[in-house]
Amino acid sequence: MLQGYTFLGDPVDVVETSRGCTFDCSFCSIIEMRGRNFYTREMARVIADITDAHDHGAKVIFLVDDNVTLDVRRFEALCEAIIEANLHHLRYIVQGMTSAFAAHGERLAPLMKRAGFEYVFLGIENVLEADLAFLKASAKNAQREGGRRVGNATLAAIEILHRHGIFVVGGLIVGNPDDTSEAIEANLAFARAHVALNGFDGADTQFLDADVNATLRRFIEEGRSFDAIVLDPPKFAPTVAHAERAARAYKDINRLALKLLEPGGVLMSFSCSGGIGADLFHKIVASAGLDAHVDGYITERLGASPDHPMTIEFPEGEYLKGLVVVRKLG
C-alpha cells in the first residue's frame, strides 16, 4: 500500500493490469524504456491487488497501465470483473487512447462508469495533423469505421466520456522543432476553449506562448509575484557532457522563479536531465537562491513515482528529480 498519497483528499494506491504499448509515438518514454510490447496480468491477480489496496484503506485506484485501451475487450472484462467483485465503490483513474474511446466508447464508457472509473487521462498530444505526424501519433486523431476515417477521435472521445460523467484530463505536447507560433496558438486555443466549456472563468486561466526567461524577467520588472511556481523544463542535459551548459540554464530559471516567489510561497523545481544528478541539482538551486538573495526550506525531495522502472541494470532510469522549496518569510 502506498502511504501518504492522496487523490483529491482520499487515500490512493496504484495497481497494474498491463504494461507497455505497441504504438510508436516518437516522444513516448514508455517505448524507450520497454520497447513495443504489451504484457497483461491475469484478471484474478488484478482483482486480488485491488482488493488488497482496498483492505489497506485505498479509496482511489490509479491503474498505471500505459495504454489499457490497447485491448478494449480485455478492458471491458476488467470493468465487469471489478463490478462482479463488488469493488466498484472505489474510484478509478486510468490512461487511455483517444481513438479507442472514439471507436468503442459508446459501449465502453457506460461500463467504465458503472465500474467506478472517474478520470481518464487522454494523450491528445496535439490538435494539428502535421504535428501529430511529426510525433508519429496520427492514429490519435483518426476516428475510423470500417477502415475509413470518419471524424476527429479526440473530440469524439472527450464527448463520449463527458456524456457518461467521466472527467477527462488531456495531455498536449507543443514546441516541436519546426513549430510556429500559430501552431502553438492553435493548441492553446483548444485548451482555452475547454476551460470555458467546463464552465470555468477564462479570466482566471492564462495560457502563454512565450520565451520563459524573457517572460519571467518581465514579470519581475512589472513587480508581479506568485504564491506557487512549478518549473518543469525540458531535458537540458541528456548526458553528462551537456551538464555545464545545462547547469547555467537551470540556475537562470530557478533564480528568476525564486525572485518572483512570495514569502511563504512554494517553488516546485524539476529536472528530467540524466546528465544532472540530484546532488548537483540541489547545488544549482542553492546557487540560484544565493544569486536571488532568497532563502527557503526544502520541504520535499521528489523522484520518480513508484511505478517508474529503476532496475539495477538500468541506472539511467533514475533521471527524474525535484525539490519543493518554501520561501522563508524573513
Q: Is 47 in the site for ligand SF4 (CB under 6 A)?
A: no
Q: Which of 155, 14, 60, 169 is nearest to 98 (CA)?
A: 155
Task: Give the Cβ contact number of residue 141 at 10 Å.
Answer: 25
Q: How far is the CB of 124 from ligand SAM (least distance, A)?
A: 8
Residues that bind ligand SAM (CB under 6 A): 21, 27-30, 66-67, 95-97, 121-123, 125, 171, 173
Select the binding partner of residue 31 from ligand SAM, ligand SF4, none (C-beta < 5 to 8 A, by kind): ligand SF4
Residues 6+ positions from 276 with CB-CB distance below 8 Å: 236, 237, 243, 246, 247, 250, 284, 321
Q: Is 102 in the site for ligand SF4 (CB under 6 A)?
A: no
- Our CA dihedral for 186, 187, 189, 193, rounded to 10 degrees, sits at 140
Q: Is 30 in the site for ligand SF4 (CB under 6 A)?
A: yes
Residues 6+ positions from 177 with CB-CB distance below 8 Å: none
Q: Is 96 in the site for ligand SF4 (CB under 6 A)?
A: no
- How far is Cα 142 from Cα 129, in angstroms, rounded to an integer? 10
Give the DSSP H/E element, type plus range, for residue 291. Answer: helix 278-292
- How far is Cα 282 from Cα 260, in angstroms, rounded to an integer? 19
Answer for which of 47, 50, 58, 66 binds ligand SF4 (CB under 6 A) is 66
Q: How far is the CB of 86 from ligand SF4 (least distance, A)?
A: 31
Q: Is 64 in the site for ligand SF4 (CB under 6 A)?
A: no
Q: How far is the CB of 149 from ligand SF4 (least distance, A)?
A: 18
**Quick one: which segment of 25-33, 149-157, 189-197, 207-215 binds ligand SF4 (CB under 6 A)?**
25-33
C-alpha cell at 57: 484503506
Beta strands 142-145; 148-152: pairing state? antiparallel
- Chain residues 112-131 in contact with ligand SF4, contact rule CB under 6 A: 123
C-alpha cell at 144: 475510423
Residues 6+ positions from 21 with CB-CB distance below 8 Å: 28, 30, 31, 36, 38, 66, 67, 70
Q: Is 67 in the site for ligand SF4 (CB under 6 A)?
A: yes
Select the binding partner of residue 202 from ligand SF4, ligand SAM, none (C-beta < 5 to 8 A, by kind): none
Residue with cell 520565451: 211
Select the binding partner of residue 173 from ligand SAM, ligand SF4, none (C-beta < 5 to 8 A, by kind): ligand SAM
- How far is Cα 5 from Cα 15, in angstroms, rounded to an integer? 14
Answer for which of 12, 15, 31, 47 binds ligand SF4 (CB under 6 A) is 31
**Quick one: which segment of 11-19, 27-35, 114-122, 191-199 binds ligand SF4 (CB under 6 A)?**
27-35
Judged by the rule CB under 6 A, the positions of this chain that interact with ligand SF4 are 21, 23, 25, 28, 30-31, 66-67, 97, 123, 137
